[in-house]
Structure 1
């Protein structure tokens, strides 16, 4: 059975349940006549040729024709290698740094990126003429990477389930430790899942070094379920995905409710708890040791381009890093970002990652 990831399923939802979400900036669909052509030179000069290998997490997706338009305009051939969840992706990048998996990586996020940077996985590169909202230079410790998209990892609830049961949905971290919500929550393992690690970071930020382990112990005692990856948590265990799950509280994204919209488009059957969010940023970077450095830089330029940035909401269901890009109108109602998400610096993550994961494992898994 094919596991449908958050982004590919989201793209289907755009076509089916929420067709209006496909309306991004510009009049022409990606890759069609009128789209901005891709120059056959890199931003650093020189003709482009050969193959460039793009290594991503399993959830990478762009609209049909968009990557092909880059190949046609640049003269490059793009090969795509999917390497698992973001955590697994980083592990493979570190293990293969002397013989890299490809030329460019997309999908390393701010919860795992510092590990790859410290290991020397990347050749620093920043595209020219990025919109100021993209945030360059990027966060200290992640220099040389290019932000591509952003989103909030948050708890989601199946509001229809709670309405049917006559129970008020939870709204805070603390609510989930109450007996009312026993055996209702599923999250992902921070050792294997980037959303899982993002949620761990949110609780560390919320409860501090002296309190987060006690919080997780209470969650575990209240019937918490832990899965290895987001797809299993959302599509197997979550009741709101419409696939037979039995748990109405799941770790997902603030954008997830935008693809559980009712057929008439007037409401959604799930909601993100915006007081539980961690801001996730996903990056692209040139891999050190690339056999095609000019092609690699051109591909990073393309991922940061207006064409791709405008395609991200519909194809990958994340917010583009470029805040000047027009968003689908429905996102304001169904997929807002948190006003005050929890944050932990890349430096703190790099210093404590292994320690925090070991402590979480001892507390929750035993």
Structure 2
């Protein structure tokens, strides 16, 4: 899923959002059967980086008569695991945040039920992963290597532009990435290298990165906000695995980005939503999926979660066109291939990196 420069940083607003969710649920969800039928409270299970303006949630409540309770459940991997473990007694009605690296597992376990939203033909269908339409694409958040352009300008060294250049001696000890075993962007970067170099070549490439002083952190926040020199933490390393949208959060006083995403190193991440199998409010849950694909919600995702909307015709925040354009040639991999190889690849990576 981070979304996204930011997706972890935006987690600072978690308490506020949870409080908002409680207010939407109207406190006590009990009452007569007739009142519950008139205005049910539905649970939206999502990732920790979910942020949406309160006025947008309030508007949905007024328009639909549906009260939403937000249940945050970790990153894409943790969210998927929780949905699978509770599929016999689902913890919510709708889930949002399962991404294409975990979609096949959720679908294979029967976590979601079929539903084709009338909003899907406005763009989300471009990212369909399931012929039964159990998942609808809500946002796109490409994982790419980012560089601190100011660092390289000051050193008089050209910034790297490709996977191969990252392993060159002039960039020794300059890069930090996240572990694919513990962080979604780390997994996406690993998958990107597998897509680039193939089953027979990716381990040799990682050996080159390791020999060139690559540092591995457990998560995005540590890598980006502590080790990366281009963020607020002013760390020692000017190359980091982050997101295509990250430079939009690093604008200088002149309005120009201080960092840059290397668009030749991107792997496409797509986050999905769907109605959970076993929901007791299926018609209402379908309306929640419609809401997540609507113009009303889609216009909020870039500014609040640093991801790109899947709906066509949605304007991005000012400056994104220059600072954070959506990559047009990101690597991809079929969800079923990711499902089949994910654990094997992570195990091989651990052995190779000694992690």
| Pairs within 5 Å for 1:281-296 | 281-296=270-285
Counterpart check, 1:305 vs 2:294: yes
- Matched with 2:20 is none
- Matched with 1:7 is 7
Judge conservation of contact 1:56–1:82 (CA < 8 Å) in 2: yes
Judge conservation of contact 1:187–1:233 (CA < 8 Å) in 2: yes
**Aligned mates of 1:149, 1:314 — CA distance in 2:** 12
Counterpart check, 1:338 vs 2:327: yes
**Aligned mates of 2:149, 2:183 — CA distance in 1:** 25
Q: 1:48 to 1:188 in 2, by over 3 A?
A: farther
Judge conservation of contact 1:150–1:281 (CA < 8 Å) in 2: yes
- Matched with 1:60 is 50
Judge conservation of contact 1:53–1:103 (CA < 8 Å) in 2: yes
Judge conservation of contact 1:188–1:251 (CA < 8 Å) in 2: yes
- Matched with 1:251 is 241
- Matched with 2:166 is 176
**Aligned mates of 1:233, 1:346 — CA distance in 2:** 27
| Pairs within 5 Å for 1:1-366 | 6-7=6-7, 9=9, 49-135=39-125, 138-140=128-130, 143-265=133-255, 267-366=256-355
Judge conservation of contact 1:48–1:74 (CA < 8 Å) in 2: no
Question: Displacement, 1:251?
Answer: 0.8
Q: 1:74 to 1:8 in 2, by over 3 A?
A: farther
**Aligned mates of 1:11, 1:324 — CA distance in 2:** 28
**Aligned mates of 1:223, 1:48 — CA distance in 2:** 60
**Aligned mates of 1:256, 1:164 — CA distance in 2:** 21
Q: 1:91 to 1:159 in 2, by over 3 A?
A: same
- Segment drifting more, 228-237 vs 111-120: 228-237
**Aligned mates of 1:123, 1:135 — CA distance in 2:** 17
Q: 1:8 to 1:221 in 2, by over 3 A?
A: closer
**Aligned mates of 2:133, 2:173 — CA distance in 1:** 42
Judge conservation of contact 1:112–1:194 (CA < 8 Å) in 2: no
**Aligned mates of 1:5, 1:166 — CA distance in 2:** 27
**Aligned mates of 2:5, 2:263 — CA distance in 1:** 22
Task: Encode CA deviations 1:7-55: one digit per residue, 9 max, x unaligned.
Answer: 374799xxxxxxxxxxxxxxxxxxxxxxxxxxxxxxxxxx752211111
Question: Displacement, 1:218?
Answer: 1.5
Question: Displacement, 1:329?
Answer: 4.4
**Aligned mates of 2:245, 2:93 — CA distance in 1:** 30
Judge conservation of contact 2:6–2:249 (CA < 8 Å) in 1: no
What TM-score comes out, normalization by structure 1 length? 0.84
State the Cα RMSD in Å: 2.2
Question: Displacement, 1:248?
Answer: 1.0
State the SS of the aligned residue for 1:60. Answer: coil
Question: Displacement, 1:165?
Answer: 2.4
Task: Encode CA deviations 1:203-247: one digit per residue, 9 max, x unaligned.
Answer: 001001110011112212222222222222111211111223221
Judge conservation of contact 1:11–1:314 (CA < 8 Å) in 2: no
Judge conservation of contact 2:5–2:243 (CA < 8 Å) in 1: no
State the SS of the aligned residue for 1:97. Answer: coil
Question: Displacement, 1:104?
Answer: 1.0
**Aligned mates of 1:232, 1:112 — CA distance in 2:** 23
What TM-score comes out, normalization by structure 2 length? 0.87
**Aligned mates of 2:112, 2:126 — CA distance in 1:** 17
Judge conservation of contact 2:120–2:293 (CA < 8 Å) in 1: yes
**Aligned mates of 2:339, 2:103 — CA distance in 1:** 9
Question: Displacement, 1:5?
Answer: 6.8
**Aligned mates of 1:175, 1:260 — CA distance in 2:** 24
**Aligned mates of 1:6, 1:365 — CA distance in 2:** 29
**Aligned mates of 2:130, 2:354 — CA distance in 1:** 33
